Structure 1
Amino acid sequence: MESDDAAILIGVSQYRDPSLLDVPAARNSLHAMHRLLTTPELCGWSEDQVHVLEDSAGATDLALEVHRLAEETTGTLLIYFVGHGVVSKSGALCLAAGDTQLRYPDLTGLEFDKVRSALLDSPAQVKLVILDCCYSGRIIQGLAGAGDSQLVDSTDIHGVYTLTAADQVAHVPSRDETAATSFTQVLCDVVRSGIPGAPPALALTDIYPKLKSTLKARGLPEPNQRGTDTVVSYPFSRNVAYTGGTGFRLLPQAHVDHFLRTLAAQPHHDLTAESIEKLEDWPGVYLLHRESHEAPELLYVARNDRSIAVRLGQHLRKISGRCHIDAHDLSFSYLQLDDDLSVLAPERLVLQHLHAQGRSPQWNNSGFGNNDAGRMRDSHRRGGDHFDVLHPIDLSWPVRFDDPARKVTAHQMAGQLRAQLPYGFRIEPWETELDQVRLALPDGSLSADQAFRLLAAAMGDSWQISALIGQVLMYQEQGKEYPNAIRYYAGTRTITEMPEVCEAAGLPDDC
């Protein structure tokens, strides 16, 4: 499933190899970058667009996750890394994962060429790379000698801007456990303070001179940058120090105000399949509302660069399989647009306007728009205001099977089940073993919970189905615990993890 924008934030602060010291500042930098991107009056990314990969142990899993997210992104793709950077014997920059060995960085680390491959394969129109690690500048400046052109070429990708922290050793505060790395801290400080005299929207090329001069004045390693095509002018953040001027504005304030008034005046439509089917496949910005007798409550602001109808259909399906919410209480409004939305980012204009009024849509920055974030984020605990916490999946959802009473493979049953569920059901790709297990499909309708019991019993104790608050996982594992689990299915055993959520999710009383 393609998405418009994605920011992939990678931070590694803990290492198994004693030769690689732990870097608490990397964790602090990762969180600081996340806060910067999701601040509405600054960068304005929504929470569901930002994927935080913290302390990833394996470089292979990390590379696969980066490739998957990059391939699904059609608008703006941002990749940020903070942690150890090491150079292999061949001169290649390797980003160190948790189990990277300093002696074999090319075998156990994430070589930048793999990141470059992900960028090349991505359909994103704008691609930004920010590397806060030792030796990151070498992919721009090149190593001394024969390796120069090869390393420089590693960043020469159509539509990519690269910002790096240091040619040699990056600076990390040695004593302060709460501090971020110097590069990321100064970058965040510059954006949060704004730049007097700069345009109202700051590109990274606008930020770079201030970033470099500040680091140089402090005697710290100097950054490097490299950009191709028009990506160098991509608006990274609003300039909070902008007070107006006489320069040309791509979007004059009068046009922005007219856009906001026009969008606010659009009629509300019931969030139903019938209403969505009437829409044409057209890009634009849309709003989700909760209707009430007093005044509609704005829940979510987003855009789609291809088809508003497709995205609204995805939202309707997701909401229909959640607890504590009824799609009949929701409506949507929209405005079709002809502009290049990946550059214009109209949803950010709306969010900045709302923030200035002290308003914040409940579902923005709460994970509502998330697709399956992948295996690496299954163990991240959700906050109390996260969409999945407030509206866990409905395990009483009814399912029916084709040709009941006949025997099918576990793989076929799982496929039918996944096609009917309005939430994710991720299955480990062990098709050979799944094809060896056969079971009889029941006649009539089952709940999702009953179907998972049946499938788990057929697979035996070596497999585990884990129902989380936002999706369901099926892996060949035993006793694996997840912080957001509702219940586990293993063989004939079921284990309830969160009774109050289980009750809300429609689980039977005997669980």
Structure 2
Amino acid sequence: MIPGYVDFEFDLPNALLSHLIGVLDEMDPALLDPENLTSIPEAQGVYQLFLDGNLVYIGKTDAEAGLRKRLGRHALKIMHRVGLDTARVSFKAVRIYVFTAVDLESQLIRHYGGLRQVSWNGSGFGSNDPGRERDTTKFKEGHFDLTFPIDIDHPIRFAGRRNGHAAEFLSDLKTALPYVFRFQTAAVRSRKPHPDFDATLVEINELGPVTARGIIEQIVRALPRGWQATKLPSHIILYKEARHYPAGDVIATS
């Protein structure tokens, strides 16, 4: 023993985790909708998602992709899904001013029962557009997008032009949809539309409810021969091809 001196070691990661669990457990969840997210700060922290009151997902954010942005992305993800009413999904979010090197997300998942209990973690729920090379992927049982595939027959807001080039309609539809709609461009990694889209004039008939399926069918019918629109569990693609996708359904061909 050294006179006037003592070693003190504080287990900050476990103390933070323990206190955080207490805070989360005492909170009441809120509906995951845009209105409730407007007051959420764009800050680092952790959050939970609930389906019918049951915990299904745990995530964390940093300052660059903060809580509001991440929760907003999830709010879009659950829209227009077969078998999933958005009113069933709620959230809890906690801003954390001090982050340590501890992996809070993994430790929280472990505390709440692992992936068997927190079922949307590891199910592909948090994934972005998988990219062209993953369009042929076979979805495993329990995958979020296989359990709740996109609903292309859900009414959408598609106000605006009724006549124009296919490129304009495709861009408008991409903006209107809450899920990924990817279509062929002029070249790989190019942002310019395929020449067929710029050269094709389209007239949209808006009689009845407007749906992604209806708009795409009308666009594809106007395109030159060889185009195929395909619905995958998580997104829609439109390419000049005649191709079978294991998890896909053809929407329209030209």
Does the 8 Å contact 1:284/1:304 carry over to 2? yes
Mind listing any 5+ residue stretches in structure 2 that lack a counterpart?
1-6, 187-192
Check if 1:279 corresponds to 2:36. Answer: no
- TM-superposed deviation, 1:359: 5.3
Q: What CA deviation, in whole Å up to 9, does each residue of 1:200-241 have, x standing for no partner?
A: xxxxxxxxxxxxxxxxxxxxxxxxxxxxxxxxxxxxxxxxxx
Please give the alpha-carbon distance, in whole angstroms, between the structure 2 residues aligned to 1:362 and 1:247: 40
Does the 8 Å contact 1:401/1:416 carry over to 2? no
- TM-superposed deviation, 1:423: 0.9
Please give the alpha-carbon distance, in whole angstroms, between the structure 2 residues aligned to 1:414 and 1:457: 13
Aligned 1:47-62 pairs, distance under 5 A: none
Check if 1:382 corresponds to 2:146. Answer: no
Higher relative contact order (CA 8 A, sep 6+): 2
Partner of 1:265: 26
Count of residues paired in the alignment: 237
Does the 8 Å contact 1:276/1:309 carry over to 2? yes
- TM-superposed deviation, 1:351: 1.0
Does the 8 Å contact 2:153/2:213 carry over to 1? yes
Does the 8 Å contact 1:427/1:473 carry over to 2? yes
- TM-superposed deviation, 1:487: 2.7
Partner of 1:461: 225
Please give the alpha-carbon distance, in whole angstroms, between the structure 1 residues aligned to 2:102 and 2:224: 52
Check if 1:472 corresponds to 2:243. Answer: no
Q: TM-score, normalised by structure 2?
A: 0.86
Q: Which amino acid aligns with 1:485?
A: G
* Residue of structure 2 aligned with 1:289, choices 22, 37, 50: 50
- TM-superposed deviation, 1:277: 1.0
- TM-superposed deviation, 1:397: 2.3
- TM-superposed deviation, 1:247: 10
SS of the residue corresponding to residue 149 of structure 2 reads coil
Check if 1:373 corresponds to 2:126. Answer: no
Change (3 A) 1:349 1:475: same
Q: CA RMSD in A?
A: 2.1
Of the two, which has the highest radius of gyration? 1
Change (3 A) 1:440 1:252: closer
Aligned 1:317-466 pairs, distance under 5 A: 317-340=76-99, 343-355=101-113, 360-399=117-156, 400-404=158-162, 407-430=163-186, 431=193, 432-444=195-207, 445-466=209-230
Please give the alpha-carbon distance, in whole angstroms, between the structure 2 residues aligned to 1:391 and 1:252: 36
Q: What CA deviation, in whole Å up to 9, does each residue of 1:229-259 have, x standing for no partner?
A: xxxxxxxxxxxxxxxxx99576353332222
- TM-superposed deviation, 1:417: 0.8
Check if 1:310 corresponds to 2:69. Answer: yes
Does the 8 Å contact 1:321/1:397 carry over to 2? yes
SS of the residue corresponding to residue 249 of structure 2 reads strand
Please give the alpha-carbon distance, in whole angstroms, between the structure 2 residues aligned to 1:338 and 1:378: 39
Change (3 A) 1:247 1:472: farther
Q: What CA deviation, in whole Å up to 9, does each residue of 1:91-150 have, x standing for no partner?
A: xxxxxxxxxxxxxxxxxxxxxxxxxxxxxxxxxxxxxxxxxxxxxxxxxxxxxxxxxxxx
Q: TM-score, normalised by structure 1?
A: 0.44
Change (3 A) 1:434 1:299: same
Please give the alpha-carbon distance, in whole angstroms, between the structure 2 residues aligned to 1:384 and 1:366: 9
Percentage of matched positions with identical amino acids: 27
Please give the alpha-carbon distance, in whole angstroms, between the structure 2 residues aligned to 1:458 and 1:414: 13
Does the 8 Å contact 1:276/1:312 carry over to 2? yes
Please give the alpha-carbon distance, in whole angstroms, between the structure 1 residues aligned to 2:130 and 2:57: 20
Q: Which amino acid aligns with 2:198?
A: D
Does the 8 Å contact 1:460/1:490 carry over to 2? no
- TM-superposed deviation, 1:484: 1.1
Please give the alpha-carbon distance, in whole angstroms, between the structure 2 residues aligned to 1:254 and 1:371: 33
Partner of 1:485: 248
Change (3 A) 1:412 1:255: closer
